[in-house]
Chain A
């Protein structure tokens, strides 16, 4: 299937002038390009033995060239300026030209710079005479050890600087330290990718220890850039809840609107501060709409939790899904709408009670060969 996709894309772009796009080669990189006269058994054996694909530097260069030419062709096709055709435009154009109904992003057609597609590989480490370039080549992990050496050199330099200052009497403990902020060390896999070679867990731990030692020295502010290269920023977890604004209608009654979703139902709720305790769902009485006690309990939960049972008027509308999904969607919407009437502490308690968390559970797909999502057919011993 990948091949057919590659062929169409390649043929399509090839029509515009022999560019042999990077797409086709990218899609076909998992299957070696061989003459068709080979038998499939040979193919299978060779795949197992080869290991990860090795690409030569020239091959990568050729791919980069083809990618750029392909980009220009694509820009021409889309009627845009080839000079200012950036990667987002490329993605947009590909999504337009090859609309895919697949859900898996990795299975959809893509056209990216070869550096992002082909993993970084080490160039040949030795010259024509067979002599390696790097002095640590025979350790086996040359980039790792060179990194460790570099870090240790920096530590030594800093300590020498410290001694000099102490000698002069200008040493002080409270110097500007490196501000790490909300960041974490690179994980072992990320270090592997950076160094283009595999290191063991032990090596990784030693590396981290060394970096921590570097950070513990006062006067390490000079090496900030070096250290931050090996740290990754954490995504800022938004602690702030989105509180819907409190509006006032003509009669001066405060109200707020919020939406909620659960499973396949969506709902929207207008919470009015009237003091009546009337609830309408889709224009009907909620006793009529939710005949099951459980659904009404779900609707009641946020109000009961905050102790505001008889205070608000609810005007709800809900669509989609079944009765339980609709009840859950309404509960979430009511909790969100309530936020604008509550204090910070109450918001926190509501969050901890789980009233503000959208429930991510969806219906699990039925798999072939099974009765349902999990249920299997009757097991027969023979």
Chain B
């Protein structure tokens, strides 16, 4: 509850002119009645698999992600444990929760001729920020947007196996492996757009290789995938192209930038140069280009992100608010943004989760099927989604 009030206060200080979605946050979760829903099977499932048509009626209910969508939209986007769960249960069910629904409603109503809005999901550890992000990304995909999804920005600032000095700017460093992987995922997700969008500039990679102006974006991406050495620069080029083109009237796509762990871009990194001095994030090409995208100087899209403590470096475990995690520079860069708090499950959501696990025969322990067992689960997990999932996997 305190988190909701905090988000209210933060929201009042944001000076955006937009209509606030007035369904409020959190108070009427219990009051939402589950009547006249078309599914006869269960209380916790909904047949409404399109995020566009989900509304407060479906709060707390699980909808199924079509498996075709998962392989295209989320090649590496979903959290690892969730992927395991999908494999086990043979279906990908995600809960419709208030924060994601809120951001989706903002996206529906936003004016795309204005600079892009920045949404940040924040919350305690394991409260469902990444899942909310994925839900929103799924919505953007079903709406036919171009999705630029960075599954975990922290992967770019830690454990780098190969660090090359950038060919473009000698002060910066390239990460060919991460860039190539990201380009591959990008290609899988946005196949149809890559065949339509044309570059506006000529890019020279080496003495022999260059990309002509007006060539397809797909070609650019292929170039990056095949020539791994220049993949980071390709990423930079892609980002630049998309940023330039997204607001223009002739381009008929909307750009959704989804970054998980956006506080990585302004934090510290554990990568070290050869002389053992630390590398600043802005010295990395990928991070530098992504930061340019984070500025809201482009139109025709939205930036959705999460701030995460789990993978973060040199941040204390108890920090979860955007200001603590983004730091001074990050906050200045991202300000003004719309913070959306992701709390633990409410009673209704917890009930729904519990029924889902029971339905999937995931809870094998006889005690867990009783009322007392449920109360115990509530106490042990404090209604935290991750804790609930971890605890139930051992039951």
Contacts and interface: CB of A to CB of B under 8 A. Distances in A.
A310 B347 CA distance: 12
A309 B382 contact: no
B378 A297 contact: no
Interface stretch (A116-124, A231-239, A259-267, A284-292): A284-292
B381 A287 contact: yes
A287 B318 contact: no
Nearest to B376: A304
Nearest to B390: A293
Interface in A273-293: 277, 279, 284-288, 293
A232 B378 CA distance: 54
A310 B380 contact: no
A287 B378 contact: no
Nearest to A296: B380
Given A288-B318, A307-B372, A277 B378 contact: yes
Interface residues of B, number: 14
B387 interface: yes
B318 A284 contact: yes
A303 interface: yes
A284 B319 CA distance: 12
B384 interface: yes
Interface string B353-392: 0000000000000000000100110111110100100010
Contacts of B382: 279, 285-287
B204 to A, nearest CB: 52
Nearest to A303: B379
Contact of A293 (B317, B380, B384): B380
A297 B375 contact: no
A287 B372 contact: no
A191 interface: no
A300 B375 CA distance: 10
Contacts of A288: 124, 317-318
A118 B382 CA distance: 65
A310 B378 contact: yes
A123 B154 CA distance: 91
Contacts of B375: 304, 309-310
Contacts of A285: 124, 382
Contacts of A296: 379-380
A310 B380 CA distance: 12
Contacts of B384: 287
Contacts of B387: 287
B379 A300 contact: yes
A300 B317 CA distance: 24
A287 B383 CA distance: 10
A199 B384 CA distance: 71
Dominant secondary structure of chain B at its interface with chain A = helix
A310 B378 CA distance: 9
Contacts of B372: 304, 307, 309
A277 B377 CA distance: 12
A4 B245 CA distance: 95
Nearest to B375: A309
A296 B387 CA distance: 12
A286 B379 CA distance: 10
Contacts of B378: 277, 309-310
A35 B391 CA distance: 77
A304 B372 CA distance: 8
A284 B376 CA distance: 20
B336 to A, nearest CB: 29
A340 B270 CA distance: 54
Nearest to A297: B380
Contact of B391 (A277, A284, A293, A307): A293
Contacts of B391: 293
Contacts of B380: 293, 296-297, 300
A301 to B, nearest CB: 10
A277 B379 contact: yes
A60 to B, nearest CB: 68
B303 to A, nearest CB: 29
A32 to B, nearest CB: 67
A309 B318 contact: no
Nearest to B317: A288
Interface string B155-191: 0000000000000000000000000000000000000
Contact of A300 (B124, B318, B376): B376
Contacts of A297: 380
Contacts of A284: 318
B379 A309 contact: yes
Nearest to B391: A293
Nearest to B380: A296
Nearest to A310: B375
Interface of B: 124, 317-318, 372, 375-376, 378-382, 384, 387, 391
**What are the 3 A-B residue pairs with the smallest beta carbon separation, nearest first?**
A309-B375, A287-B382, A300-B379
Given A277-B379, A304-B379, A310-B379, 18 more contacts: A277-B378, A279-B379, A284-B318, A285-B382, A286-B382, A287-B382, A287-B384, A287-B387, A288-B124, A288-B318, A293-B380, A297-B380, A303-B379, A304-B376, A309-B375, A309-B376, A309-B378, A310-B378
24 contacts: A277-B379, A279-B382, A285-B382, A287-B381, A287-B382, A287-B384, A287-B387, A288-B124, A293-B391, A296-B380, A297-B380, A300-B380, A304-B372, A304-B375, A304-B376, A304-B379, A307-B372, A309-B372, A309-B375, A309-B376, A309-B378, A309-B379, A310-B375, A310-B379
